Amino acid sequence: MSEIGVCIETFFSDLDYEKRIERIYRIGFKSYEFWFHNARFDGKKLIDEPKDFDMIAELNEKFNLKVSDFVFNHPDGGIMASLIDKHDRNKILDNLEEMISFAKKLDCKQLISASGNKKKDIGKEEAIENMIETLLLTMKICEREDITLLLEPWNTKVDHPDCFLDDPEIALKVLKEVNHKNAKMLYDIYHMQIMKGNVTSFIQENIQYIGHFHIAGVPGRNEPVNCELNYQYIVREIDKTGYKGLIGLEYWPTMDHKESLKKTMTLFK
């Protein structure tokens, strides 16, 4: 099966990142991801705190771990700029190379990009066009630096009511217009099950546009077991497409975090 990674923001949130990384190594993971370069999630809220990329790089070497991705731009952290607002375009472009330099310290090849929140003065078609134009400009830098931007749609029914991009078909339209190997979709199965369903068919038909997956149980965003989605089946179908990327666990554990991850990992063995 595809390699399973873990988001270290939603696990062991009472620990510093050094201890979190060691914990996931001890459990048996080889890959992980995190959210923001400039904030720590303590289980309840984000705290302004720059990540120590040198320390993370040393731990990765020590434990033979890799970082699959982290967040570039987002309404809550990272570079707080919106793809849908052309007035944020320079902020995105001006900060992209610094974010790539952080990624290169970790030999990380992918950055997550949110669309931004809806704005009353930006209509749907204008927002889509702005996303396309901004991503096209970022591709010049991403191609040169061998970095992929992962465009992530979210659900607006439960978790992110203000987000513009909540439809995988719109994300697909944007990516087809950008038409570049360094622009892919982060297909979060939890979010997209809530918004659209039909996740297996969408994956099978559009795998060439998907660069990363997130999974969590639906409903609740907890362990991906005993929920309305058969993740063993979904991951097997992902494997059949020839997908070579990672699948990230990004959920809120309902039990001891170590036991939760061990229980989840047995699902995919």
Q: Sketch the domain layout of the chain as residue ranges.
A: 3-267
Q: Single out the catalytic residue among 9, 33, 152, 223.
A: 152
pLDDT recorded at residue 2? 86
Q: Please confirm, yes or no, whether 18 is among the known catalytic residues.
A: no
Q: Are strands 46-48 and 39-41 parallel, antiparallel or unpaired?
A: antiparallel
Residue 269: the pLDDT is 79
**For each of the chain's 269 residues, which pLDDT tens digit applies?**
789 999 999 999 999 999 999 999 999 999 999 999 999 999 999 999 999 999 999 999 999 999 999 999 999 999 999 999 999 999 999 999 999 999 999 999 999 999 999 999 999 999 999 999 999 999 999 999 999 999 999 999 999 999 999 999 999 999 999 999 999 999 999 999 999 999 999 999 999 999 999 999 999 999 999 999 999 999 999 999 999 999 999 999 999 999 999 999 998 87
pLDDT of residue 142: 98
Of 193, 236, 195, the closest CA to residue 216 belongs to: 193
CATH of domain 3-267: 3.20.20.150
**Model's pTM, two decimal places?**
0.97
pLDDT score, position 237: 97
> Catalytic site residue 250?
yes
CA distance 136 to 121: 23
Active-site residue identified among 9, 33, 223, 250: 250
